[in-house]
Amino acid sequence: MRSESRGREGLSRRRATSRRAVWTTARTPIFDNHIHLRAEFQGVTAAKAFEQAGGTAMLLTHTPYDDVPIRRGDDFGMAYDKTLAMADAVRSTTSLQVFVALGPYPVEFLALREAIGPQPAMEAMREGIDEAARHIAEGRAIAFGEIGRPHFPVTADAISACNDVLEYAMQSAKELGCAVVLHTEDPTPQTFAEFAEIASRAGLAADRIVKHHSTPLTRPEDTHGVVPSILAKEDLVKTALRGGPRFLLETDYIDDPRRPGAVLGPATVPRKTRAWLESGVLIGSPRGAVHEISTSVT
C-alpha cells in the first residue's frame, strides 16, 4: 500500500508539473463566488488586492447597508443601486469581470416583520425580489443573492415565510434563466434535499441553486444537484475534493472594519488557488478550470 501511495504521489506531481506549464501560459481564471465590497470601507482597494493576487472574476453580492435602512419594499431599489455602483467602480479601475447578485438579505425579514407585521414583511421581501429581477432582466445583475432564511434558529413561522419568499424567487429565476445564491443555516444532505425540492416546485433546475457558505458536501447524493460554494480554507477544500470536483470557492469577505477577521480577506481565493496548484491539491486544466482532483489528496 505504501509503495502504491508513493507512486500515486509521484504521478500526481508529474501531472501537476505538466499542467502547470499550460496554465501559466494563459491567465488562469480565478473566481471568488461570494464577496461584499463597500465604497466607504476598502471597496475598490480590496478588489485591487484580489486582482493583484491573480483573481480575474468575482460575484459581488448585495449586502444590507446601515445608511439605506429597509422599511418597505420600495427601499430595496436604493440599496441595490449602491451595490451596482460599487460594481461599476471596480470595473472602471481594474480588469476584473464583476458579476452582481441582488436580493433581499434573509435576516432583513425579521426586522421588517417586527416593524410592519408578517404579511406586509413578506410582501416587502417579494418586492425586493421583483426589483432584483428587473436588474437581472436588464443585464445589470446575473443572480438572486444572497436570499433564503436566517442562518440562526428562528421560529417555524419565520422559516415557512422565508421559504415562501424563496420559492417566489426561484419561480422568477426560472423565468429569467438565472441562478439563486442561498444564505441559510449550514446545510446537511437533508437541507440540500429540501432546497432541491423547493426548486423543483418552482420548476427551477437544482444546478441553478448555489449554496453560499456551504459545508464541504460535494457528492451528488449529498447535494441533490445543488452547487456548494465553499470557503477557501484548505481543510474544507480537501474534504470537498474527496466527494467530487463540483463546487465553487468563496471568501464571503464582508469589508466591514467592525468585524475584522470575521471572514477571509479579499485576496484569499487567488492566493490559495495558486498555492494549491503549486502543491498539487488542485490541478489546472488547459481550459483554465482548476477543479480536477489531485490523486495526492488523502
The count of residues interacting with Zn ion (CB under 5 A) is: 1
Nearest by Cα to 86 from 51, 42, 39, 132: 39
- Annotate each residue in 16-55 with x if it binds Zn ion (CB under 5 A) or - if it does not, as one string: ----------------------------------------
Q: Grid coordinates standing for 275?
A: 498555492
- Residues 209/235, Cβ–Cβ less than 8 Å: no
- Annotate each residue in 196-215 with x if it binds Zn ion (CB under 5 A) or - if it does not, as one string: --------------------
Return d(Cα 147, Cα 108) in angstroms, integer. 10
Q: How far is the CB of 87 from Zn ion (least distance, A)?
A: 15
Return d(Cα 205, Cα 197) in angstroms, integer. 10
Could you say which residues in the range 236-295 bind Zn ion, by CB under 5 A? 252
For residue 50, the tally of other CB atoms under 10 A from its CB is: 29
Return d(Cα 12, Cα 15) in angstroms, integer. 5
Q: How far is the CB of 64 from Zn ion (least distance, A)?
A: 10
Could you say which residues in the range 163-192 bind Zn ion, by CB under 5 A? none
In the complex with Zn ion, the residue whose CB is nearer, 19 or 62, is 62
In the complex with Zn ion, the residue whose CB is nearer, 104 or 243, is 104
In the complex with Zn ion, the residue whose CB is nearer, 129 or 231, is 231
In the complex with Zn ion, the residue whose CB is nearer, 60 or 282, is 60
Q: How far is the CB of 36 from Zn ion (least distance, A)?
A: 6
Nearest 5°: the CA angle 99, 121, 64 is 35
Distances (CA, A) of 275 to 27, 48, 53, 112, 249: 15, 19, 11, 44, 14
Q: How far is the CB of 250 from Zn ion (least distance, A)?
A: 8
Q: Which residues bind Zn ion (CB under 5 A)?
A: 252
